[in-house]
Amino acid sequence: MRPLLVLTGVPTASTVRTFLTPLQTGTVMNLDPANLRFETRCVHVGVDKDDTFNSCITPIYPTSTFRWDGIGKTRGFDYTRSGNPTRTALEQNLAALEGGIDCRATATGMAAITAVLHLFQPGDQIIAGHDIYGGTYRLFADVFSKMGLRFSFVNMQDPGAVAAALCPQTKCIWIETPSNPLLNLVDIVAVVAQARTAGVLTIADNTFMSPYCQRPFELGVDVIVHSTTKYLNGHSDVVGGAVITRTPEYAERVGYIVNALGLACSPFDAWLVLRGVKTLGPRMEAHQRGAMALARMLHEHPQVQRVYYPGLPDHPQHALARRQMSGFGGMLSFDVRGGRAAAERVMTRAQLFSMAESLGGVESLMEHPDTMSHASMTESARRAAGISESTLRVSVGIEHPDDLAADLNQALASCRELS
């Protein structure tokens, strides 16, 4: 195991870092993260380990290279593309939050997805949902398919569709749940069972829920990816990603790929995400409190046709949400009456909701998937996925729910004559 942020540590040759064994720092924190509750891990794992000056916070090490003590003798780091103490602190933290043994923090969420796609060879087939994140769809359908990987995009809510897509070349089932923007769920346990029977890998993009609300490893998934840009960082001030693994085999391979391709994040960005992640638990509580309040309000609203939020009892997969998630998250969508004009008016009249893409920050955002986040899909693909011109997606921030509800109410009132 590689010692972390210990300037007097003994380096080892192993590239696989096992985070869920007691940390080797001794002096500052000698706790086993496996024994700590989630919120405590957020604050403490990967942090508090600078014993040069006993800083409470992980320093940023903006250095490209590290001095060697002698031939074959480093203090655990030699070059920042390959490893940096600030980044390793974040990786330790994120691995502990998902319950993995290793993590690689990348420059963006797309870089994390790029890394795991390099686990496969030309000719391999990957099954994914037809309603996955648009950037992931583009990367799969446009970039990696040109390099010989094959993709089947199916309705992952239907186990029959997954079974029908399985073939001898299938190497991976890609799980993204809930979907964006309509919050459809994939039954993780059911898909993992199908994958195990077929002997294929499962990779989950857990960005939408964060490990606070959903822990795919506990449901049998093999590899987890994140866009840390969203809830993990939570403050809309950095882009980043992560790949988390649970076996030495994949930890080693992903570490090799991230280094070989040069996908790792900068020490500055790692430091920002590490700062953000400490408040993940309380932020997620506030996000979902607000989302539930707004979902209930919108559900009763005469100018709203339909609300998509897994926390509502009439969400078609509410029972599944209760089974596989420990919270319903901070994302919701709704169809407003009055078509595109009404959707635009709601967005422009709302004061507390910035009209912007992205999600997961402390401030509320609202966007129009048909022309913004999902514009790279064809119109027919959007309609097939259930996205209409009156669909609005909301990333509910941590503002007081009463203020958010009042603001959304006045914005909806402004388009009464359009409905």
Ligand X SMILES: *Cc1c(COP(=O)(O)O)cnc(C)c1O
- The count of other CB atoms within 10 Å of the CB of residue 340 is 16
5/185 with CB nearer ligand X: 185
Q: From the CB of 252, what's the least distance to ligand X, in Å? A: 24
Closer residue to ligand X (CB): 358 or 414: 358
Q: How far is the CB of 386 from ligand X (least distance, A)?
A: 17
> Which is nearer to ligand X, 84 or 229 (by Cβ)?
229
Cβ 278 to ligand X shortest distance, Å? 20
Query: Nearer to ligand X by C-beta: 44 or 230?
Result: 230
CB-nearest residue to ligand X: 109
Catalytic residue of the set 41, 48, 133, 222: 133
Work out whether 288 is an interface residue with ligand X (CB under 6 A). no
* Candidates 51, 78, 81, 349; catalytic one: 81
Site for ligand X in 239-268 (CB under 6 A): 239, 241
> Is 230 an interacting residue with respect to ligand X (CB under 6 A)?
yes
Q: Which of the stretches 162-170, 222-230, 247-255, 390-398 binds ligand X when contact is defined by CB under 6 A?
A: 222-230
Whether residue 81 lies in the annotated active site: yes
249 Cβ partners below 8 Å, 6+ apart?
Answer: none
Residue 395 binds ligand X, judged by CB under 6 A: no
133 is catalytic: yes
- One residue of 177, 184, 207, 236 binding ligand X per CB under 6 A: 207
- 416 flagged as catalytic: no
Nearer to ligand X, 25 or 179 (CB): 179
- The answer to whether residue 205 is catalytic is yes
Report the C-alpha gap between 108 and 122 in whole angstroms: 24
138: which residues sit within 8 A by CB, 6+ positions away? 376
Rounded least distance, CB 135 to ligand X, Å: 5
Q: For residues 180 and 303, which CB has a smaller minimum distance to ligand X in the complex?
A: 180
- Candidates 136, 202, 236, 288; binder of ligand X (CB under 6 A) is 136
State the nearest-atom distance from the C-beta of 147 to ligand X, in Å: 19
CB 188, CB 220: distance < 8 Å: yes
Q: Which of residues 96-115 bind ligand X (CB under 6 A)?
A: 108-110
Encoded tokens for 374: 């999902």
- The DSSP bridge partners found for residue 128 are 153
Of the ranges 166-174, 200-208, 363-371, 393-401, which one interacts with ligand X (CB under 6 A)? 200-208
User: Which of residues 219 and 412 has its CB atom nearest to ligand X in the complex?
Assistant: 219
Identified binder of ligand X from the candidate list 19, 151, 208, 334, rule CB under 6 A: 208
Cβ atoms < 10 Å from Cβ of 200: 19
Tokens of 334: 């709704």
Among 25, 210, 214, 227, binds ligand X (CB under 6 A): 227
Contact residue for ligand X among 9, 11, 59, 135 (CB under 6 A): 135
The span from the CA of 324 to the CA of 218, in Å, is 9
Q: Which of 2, 17, 230, 275 is catalytic?
A: 230
User: Among all residues, which ones are annotated catalytic?
Assistant: 81, 133, 205, 230
Residues that bind ligand X (CB under 6 A): 108-110, 133, 135-136, 176, 180, 205, 207-208, 227, 229-230, 239, 241
